[in-house]
Amino acid sequence: MKKVYMDYAATTPVDKEVIDEMIPYFDKYYGNASSIHSFGRDAFDAGEKSREQISGLLSANADEIIFTSGGTESDNLAIKGAAYLNKKKRDSKGYHIITSEIEHPAVLETCKYLEKQGFNVKYLPVDKYGLIKTKDLEDAISKNTLLITIIFANNEIGTIEPMEEIGKIAKKHDVIFHTDAVQAVGKVPIDVKKLNIDLLSLSSHKIYGPKGVGALYIRKGVKLQTIAHGGGHEKGLRSSTHNTPGIVGLGKACELGMNRLKKDAAHMKNLRDVLIKEILKVEESYLNGHPEKRLVNNAHFRFTAIEGESLNLMLDDKGIAGATGSACSSKKLQASHVLLAIGLKPEEAHGSLRLSLGRMSTKEDVSYVTEVLPEVVNNLRKMSPLWNR
Ligand SMILES: Cc1ncc(COP(=O)(O)O)c(C=O)c1O
């Protein structure tokens, strides 16, 4: 049976060039990057090279990159780190954080946790496309606002938030601006300086690097409090022995991502546009998210009278891998908070399907999906009491 992977937003295969780069760091250059001997120095140098590669993709400086275990840890360190440190500088009331209703759980749950500790969090609503209104953001800022954390591009519906405007507002009010750019990196050109981003989270496994490694960009001068105490690695912000193979892989993935950005983006966009055009021919099918301000690899549909989980299972039977929500939360079988936030009814949210493309996707993949998916939707509808056309 043909197998088609259309879940690149959940994770990506590791690029062969990345694997080749990583391999010597398992058994040849295996030193501890903190050791002073030559084995240690080799590992240290590999880490510094990776910092250069990561910063290149973001137009940042190498010394503004901290290694972490992935997007989740980067988000936690950015948000808690900024909140705890800045709290000390304020008077005791009204520590305030602004975020949106459609953040990834790594941000939402961190904000909810901080609320329990007395922080005041404003969750900005979004419009039907998933965009925040910058006027709402400006109105929400007060003298107690410590941090703005808004996702760069949404992991479910692919909508890209107005980063430039958010950055300008944050700068004007002198508030730290963090963005979870896990889905945007490698698909959208990012210049942290131009966008006035102070903190940016990224994850290796979404950009053809290995799992379990990520980075946090911290603009020079922005201070954070550590959330994990230990040996003082990464300027005391993130203690733990370097995962050198992972760090090398992340660096190479970023270098490839930078060199291939235009090519990859054009490739994914071409395929995505065909996919969207063809799938929307299915009766009562709709696109979730913004028609233009969306990630080049994201196609997110909803189908009347369809249950997303059944649709996914039937597609899986035909060898097609898609998703109903974000991979990390889709097992919960709750209507997605993102889809509810854009105004969908729970039953509409449950009838949704995310197909996400990647560097390795092909025209044949798209043809197979556009051939199989309408048939699967029709078959499911025949069995559905909700579909009585
Ligand atoms: C937007 C976003 N943020 C954070 C994460 C978490 O990243 P990681 O799996 O590296 O912890 C993900 C992964 O699904 C994501 O899509």
Point out the ligand 1 atom lying closest to the alpha carbon of residue 9. Answer: 16
Q: Out of 274, 305, 328, 340, pick the active-site residue.
A: 328
Which fold does the domain 16-257 belong to in CATH? Aspartate Aminotransferase; domain 2 (3.40.640)
Instruction: Give yes or no for residue 70 CB within 6 A of ligand 1.
Output: yes
Residue 296 confidence (pLDDT): 98
Structural domain spans, the chain: 4-12+261-383, 16-257
Give CA torsion, residues 379, 382, 383, 389, to 10 deg.
140
Question: Could you tell me the pLDDT band of residue 95, with boundaries at 50, 70 and 90?
Answer: confident
User: What are the distances in angstroms from CA 293 to CA 22, 110, 164, 168, 298?
Assistant: 35, 27, 13, 19, 11
Ligand 1 center from residue 71 Cα (angstroms):
5
Q: Are 198 and 222 in contact (CB under 8 A)?
A: yes
Q: Whose CA is nearest to atom 5 of ligand 1?
A: 71
Pick from 303, 279, 287, 288: nearest CA to 380:
303
pTM: 0.96
SS3 state at 249:
helix
Q: Kindly report the CATH number that applies to the domain delimited by 4-12+261-383.
A: 3.90.1150.10
To the query of whether residue 254 is one of the catalytic residues in this protein, the response is: no
Per-residue pLDDT tens for 263-317? 999 999 999 999 999 999 999 999 999 999 999 999 999 999 999 999 999 999 9
Q: Examine the pLDDT at 325 and tell me if it is beyond 70.
A: no
Question: Could you tell me the pLDDT band of residue 324, with boundaries at 50, 70 and 90?
Answer: confident
Q: Whose CA is nearest to atom 16 of ligand 1?
A: 155
Task: Taking residues 4-29, report their average pLDDT.
Answer: 98
Reading the block at residue 310, the tokens are 């059944």
Q: How many CB atoms lie within 10 A of CB 172?
A: 11
Instruction: Give yes or no for residue 11 CB within 6 A of ligand 1.
Output: no
Instruction: Give yes or no for residue 361 CB within 6 A of ligand 1.
Output: no
Residue 334 confidence (pLDDT): 82
Residue 326 confidence (pLDDT): 44
Per-residue pLDDT tens for 136-178? 999 999 999 999 999 999 999 999 999 999 999 999 999 999 9
Residue for token pair 């800045």: 86
Instruction: Give yes or no for residue 325 CB within 6 A of ligand 1.
Output: no
Question: Could you tell me the pLDDT band of residue 104, with boundaries at 50, 70 and 90?
Answer: very high
Question: Could you tell me the pLDDT band of residue 90, with boundaries at 50, 70 and 90?
Answer: low
Reading the block at residue 124, the tokens are 């900005």
Reading the block at residue 224, the tokens are 């954070």
Strand partners, 100: 124
Q: Are 215 and 54 in contact (CB under 8 A)?
A: yes
Q: Which residue has the higher pLDDT, 334 or 249?
A: 249
Helix (H) or strand (E) holding 176: strand 176-180
Question: Could you tell me the pLDDT band of residue 87, with boundaries at 50, 70 and 90?
Answer: confident
Mutate to test the pocket of ligand 1, among 99, 102, 107, 155 (most ligand atoms within 8 A of CB): 155
Q: Whose CA is nearest to atom 15 of ligand 1?
A: 182
Ligand 1 center from residue 177 Cα (angstroms):
18
Residue 236 confidence (pLDDT): 95
Question: Could you tell me the pLDDT band of residue 328, with boundaries at 50, 70 and 90?
Answer: very low
Q: Distance between CA 326 and CA 49 in Å, rounded?
A: 32
Ligand 1 center from residue 41 Cα (angstroms):
31
Per-residue pLDDT tens for 329-385? 555 568 999 999 999 999 999 999 999 999 999 999 999 999 999 999 999 999 988
Q: Whose CA is nearest to atom 8 of ligand 1?
A: 71
Per-residue pLDDT tens for 169-218? 999 999 999 999 999 999 999 999 999 999 999 999 999 999 999 999 99
Instruction: Give yes or no for residue 77 CB within 6 A of ligand 1.
Output: no
Task: Taking residues 231-242, report their average pLDDT.
Answer: 96
